[in-house]
């Protein structure tokens, strides 16, 4: 196993020659580094012109390890060989070190480099990298790895403090500047001349130069050379990180540069994925790599430019950005209890809702960057205030909950650690039911950021944990008792006139979801739409939710021990299917294709499964009374199966052809009690209907008391629906909804 460490670039606000003089004072021993017991010079060679000096040392370090481990190893200290190559001409010092002790069981290597800052020649940069490769160590490899890395990282900050200590010691002795090496002056000499302003320590006039450099860090991805991160930049714009966390960020960033042609996300974005995986480098790399591919495929990086919320969302989506919280995080307010989740899903589709959520997340990251500059401290996440007033059983509607879970899954995978805090206020009694369903899909790190306030007004208090602890009163919206008007939409019920079929909801862009929850189908006189559900166990629950978008329909459920032939694939190029919009009927003279009982118009289907030769009561049987549905009805229900086999759900045009109009003349039809079957040579009627539906099969033991049995946004229970969740019932249904 190999453990690697890579430090950010640490900057000393002193010239290279001064830093080298301070570095030499560390030898032969350094009281500030207790584990450094001493050193012995093995060789010291200087070039003829004095431009290069190579020093080799043997260093002795104390082993800070458990007593048992030291006893097994038989050593209390370890020897390292160190080779220092100093170039006065290039103003660089390269330090290479490796262990002598137990080098047959483990290999420790370290490389350090001092060099001139690329943007200020009076400053000095320091970089450090190391690796630990444990081949075998008496079965204690993992323990040795942890001990070694803990000790190593603990000494990193001490090393910087040592250099600064000796720099101050030099200046207290009057050494404020050392001339650079030249051919006429081969050895650097000390002097008591005042140091230039840019070589003074942090806090002097050099601070203005640093401020300008920080602005460049933000504009140029935070690095002086494009591929390196400075420690001070990390502290100012990413927050306090441990040495290991800094190393993980640098290593992951380096990997991205090698694999993504220099086009890498911002450091804040990379850091979120590391935090989401507890700085496990390989897991974070895998998660980030998948997310970057997803972002590229769906053009998410540019979603703020090419996508804008549809008018339905602007009018009925009760959410908006609203200033910031006490810590400077952007604040988003969502009035979830005022959302018509079913109406939005059926008017826009899950795809548009997901894009809107992505749009909100991208906007949130943009606002975090703006607030980082505004408040001059790292702000990498945002706060969400969720008002649940009005949340009731109508929101706990299975297709809506399913869509919510799928959206959460996408957000968790691609926007980790963007939520700093979630404040839930006025949570009703039904909230625990929703939380039970949703919480398993939310990462543990995210769940810990949730604060829930009940239905009382206690959230307005200023006591410990009150809303005022997180949001200023002048920012709290008026509907929560604050002094600020919220400019967002108040939501409301989406009119059914805005509902769209699946085909209308589809966009030409790459789809984020390949399997939409709802499907759309056409029903014609003589050509019902049928779907097949195979039940392997007798006690299962078939659930459905559908809306009649055009004309009147009759809904039936049949059972058969025989399996009908599946609809053929779409007609071939020699027999093209009619291309019509879902809000327009097929041409009156468009013939059905003899080779295929399935008509397709884009994503709107029509399929017949019951064969014309089948006899009702012999080949199949009705398990529910037919349900008449009017145009505009929203129907939700369930059926507990009694037998295994094939169940067929059928939607067919009403007896009068819809709308009370007389039945049309249809040639070539064979009708029987089970439903209208389209046969060869049919001419499709001008009467047609459109249904948008969702079906799911749930195990009986999982159904009772589950979200499947809860009502939808526009429908209620029939008398039979209560029977569905009662015990010892083998067959029941909920068919009527208005």
CA nearest to 253, candidates 240, 233, 516, 153: 233
Q: Which of 249, 268, 297 is the last residue of a domain?
A: 297
- Is 363 contained in some domain? yes
Indicate if 529 and 670 belong to the same structural domain. yes
Report the run of H or E that residue 171 belongs to, with start and end.
helix 141-172
Structure tokens at 222: 């935070």
CATH number assigned to the domain comprising residue 439: 3.40.525.10
CATH number assigned to the domain comprising residue 287: 1.10.8
Indicate if 292 and 311 belong to the same structural domain. no
Determine the average pLDDT of the residues in 705-729.
Answer: 33
- Is 657 contained in some domain? yes
Indicate if 346 and 489 belong to the same structural domain. yes
pLDDT tens digits along 288-330: 989 998 888 888 988 998 888 889 999 999 999 999 999 999 9
Say how far apart CA 640 and CA 526 lie, in whole Å. 29
Indicate if 604 and 710 belong to the same structural domain. yes
- Is 197 contained in some domain? no
- Is 734 contained in some domain? no
CB 199 within 8 A of CB 18: yes
- Is 400 contained in some domain? yes
Say how far apart CA 157 and CA 241 lie, in whole Å. 12
CB 290 within 8 A of CB 297: no
CATH number assigned to the domain comprising residue 527: 2.60.120.680
pLDDT tens digits along 500-520: 766 666 655 556 765 667 788
* 384 has pLDDT over 90: yes
Choose the weakest-confidence range: 41-45, 453-457, 555-559, 662-666: 662-666
CB 654 within 8 A of CB 483: no
Could you list the residue range(s) of the whole structural domain that residue 548 is in?
518-564+590-724
Indicate if 108 and 176 belong to the same structural domain. yes
Please name the residue that has the structure tokens 């209560």. Answer: 722
Indicate if 236 and 264 belong to the same structural domain. yes
How many CB atoms lie under 10 A from the CB of residue 172? 9
- Reduced to 3 states (helix: H, G, I; strand: E, B; else coil), residue 713 is coil
CB 332 within 8 A of CB 320: yes
Q: Which of 125, 154, 188 is the last residue of a domain?
A: 188
Indicate if 613 and 554 belong to the same structural domain. yes
- Reduced to 3 states (helix: H, G, I; strand: E, B; else coil), residue 157 is helix
Indicate if 475 and 609 belong to the same structural domain. no
Q: Which of 263, 297, 331 is the last residue of a domain?
A: 297
Indicate if 173 and 263 belong to the same structural domain. no
Give 28's contacts (C-beta < 8 A, 6+ positions apart): 38, 39, 40
Choose the weakest-confidence range: 87-91, 466-470, 599-603, 721-725: 721-725
CATH number assigned to the domain comprising residue 162: 3.30.530.20
- Is 581 contained in some domain? no
Determine the average pLDDT of the residues in 89-102.
Answer: 91
CA nearest to 300, candidates 257, 365, 362, 370: 362
- Is 629 contained in some domain? yes
State the total domains in the chain: 4
Q: Taking all residues of the chain, what is their mean pLDDT, rounded to a whole number?
A: 75
Indicate if 326 and 245 belong to the same structural domain. no
Give 671's contacts (C-beta < 8 A, 6+ positions apart): 526, 677
The pLDDT-based confidence of 225 (bands split at 50, 70, 90) is very low
Say how far apart CA 21 and CA 200 lie, in whole Å. 16
Indicate if 395 and 366 belong to the same structural domain. yes
Give the 3-state secondary structure of 444-485: HHHHCCEEECCCCCHHHCCCCCCHHHCCCCCCCEHHHCCCEC
Indicate if 322 and 274 belong to the same structural domain. no
Choose the weakest-confidence range: 108-112, 587-591, 703-707: 587-591
The separation between CA 163 and the C-alpha centre of its own chain, rounded to angstroms, equals: 42
- Is 649 contained in some domain? yes
Choose the weakest-confidence range: 59-68, 121-130, 270-279, 360-369: 59-68
Is the dihedral angle over the CA atoms 288, 236, 258, 2 positive or is it negative?
negative
CB 620 within 8 A of CB 560: yes
CB 59 within 8 A of CB 68: no
Determine the average pLDDT of the residues in 445-460.
Answer: 76
> Has this prediction a pTM greater than 0.75?
no
CB 531 within 8 A of CB 671: no
């Amino acid at each position: 196993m190999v453990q690697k460490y890579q430090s950010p670039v640490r900057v000393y606000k002193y010239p290279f020659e001064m830093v080298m003089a301070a570095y030499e004072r560390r030898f032969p021993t350094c009281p500030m580094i207790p584990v450094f017991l001493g050193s012995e010079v093995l060789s010291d060679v200087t070039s003829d012109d004095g431009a290069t000096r190579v020093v080799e040392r043997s260093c002795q370090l104390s082993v800070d390890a458990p007593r048992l481990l030291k006893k097994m190893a038989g050593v209390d200290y370890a020897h390292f060989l160190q080779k220092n190559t100093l170039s006065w001409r290039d103003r660089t010092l390269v330090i290479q070190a490796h262990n002598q002790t137990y080098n047959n069981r483990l290999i420790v290597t370290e490389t350090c480099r001092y060099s001139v800052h690329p943007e200020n020649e009076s400053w000095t940069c320091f970089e450090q990298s190391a690796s630990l490769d444990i081949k075998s160590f008496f079965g204690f490899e993992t323990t040795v790895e942890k001990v070694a890395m803990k000790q190593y990282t603990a000494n990193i900050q001490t090393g910087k403090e040592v250099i600064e200590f000796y720099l101050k010691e030099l200046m207290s002795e009057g050494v404020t500047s050392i001339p650079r090496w030249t051919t006429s002056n081969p050895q650097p000499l000390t002097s008591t001349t005042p140091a230039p302003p840019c070589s003074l320590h942090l806090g002097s006039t050099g601070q203005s130069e640093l401020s300008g450099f920080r602005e460049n860090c933000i504009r140029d991805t935070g690095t002086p050379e494009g591929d390196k991160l400075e420690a001070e930049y990390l502290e100012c714009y990413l927050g306090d990180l441990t040495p290991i966390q800094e190393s993980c960020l640098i290593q992951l960033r380096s990997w991205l540069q090698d694999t993504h042609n220099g086009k890498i996300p911002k450091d804040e974005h990379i850091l979120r994925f590391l935090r989401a995986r507890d700085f496990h480098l390989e897991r974070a790399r895998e998660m980030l790599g998948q997310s970057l591919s997803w972002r590229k495929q769906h053009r998410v990086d540019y979603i703020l430019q090419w996508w804008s919320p549809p008018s339905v969302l602007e009018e009925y989506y009760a959410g908006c950005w609203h200033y910031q919280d006490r810590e400077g995080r952007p604040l988003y307010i969502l009035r979830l209890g005022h959302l018509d989740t079913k109406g939005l899903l059926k008017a826009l589709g899950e795809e548009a809702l997901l894009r809107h959520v992505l749009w909100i997340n991208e906007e949130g990251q943009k606002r975090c960057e703006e607030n980082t500059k505004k408040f001059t401290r790292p702000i990498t996440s945002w706060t969400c205030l969720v008002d649940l007033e009005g949340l009731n059983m109508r929101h706990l509607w299975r297709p809506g909950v399913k869509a919510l879970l799928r959206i959460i899954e996408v957000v968790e995978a691609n926007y980790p650690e963007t939520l700093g805090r979630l404040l839930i206020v006025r949570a009703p009694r039904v909230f625990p039911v929703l939380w039970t369903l949703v919480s398993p899909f939310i990462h543990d790190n995210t769940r810990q950021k949730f604060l829930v306030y009940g239905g009382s007004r206690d959230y307005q208090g200023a006591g410990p944990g009150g809303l005022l602890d997180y949001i200023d009163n002048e920012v709290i919206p008026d509907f929560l008792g604050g002094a600020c008007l919220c400019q967002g939409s108040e939501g409301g019920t989406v009119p059914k006139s805005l509902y769209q079929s699946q085909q209308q909801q589809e966009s030409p862009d790459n789809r984020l979801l390949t399997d939409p929850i709802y499907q759309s189908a056409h029903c014609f006189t003589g050509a019902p739409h049928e779907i097949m559900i195979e039940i392997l166990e007798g006690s299962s629950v078939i659930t459905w939710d559908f809306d009649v978008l055009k004309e009147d329909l009759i809904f039936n459920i049949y059972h058969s021990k025989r399996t009908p032939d599946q609809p053929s694939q779409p007609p071939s190029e020699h027999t093209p299917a009619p291309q019509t919009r879902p809000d327009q009927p097929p041409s009156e003279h468009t013939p059905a294709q003899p080779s295929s009982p399935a008509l397709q118009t884009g994503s709107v289907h029509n399929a017949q499964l019951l064969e014309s030769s089948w006899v009702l009561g012999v080949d199949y049987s009705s398990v529910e009374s037919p349900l008449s549905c009017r145009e505009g009805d929203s129907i939700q229900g369930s059926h507990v199966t009694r037998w295994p086999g094939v169940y067929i759900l059928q939607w067919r045009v009403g007896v009068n052809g819809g709308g009370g109009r007389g039945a049309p003349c249809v040639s070539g039809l064979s009708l029987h009690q089970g439903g209208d079957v389209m046969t060869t040579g049919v001419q499709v009627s001008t009467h047609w209907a459109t249904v948008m539906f969702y079906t799911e099969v749930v195990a009986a033991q999982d159904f009772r008391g589950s979200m499947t049995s809860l009502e939808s946004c526009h429908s209620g229970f029939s008398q039979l629906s209560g029977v569905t969740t009662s015990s010892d019932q083998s067959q029941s249904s909920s068919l009527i909804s208005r």
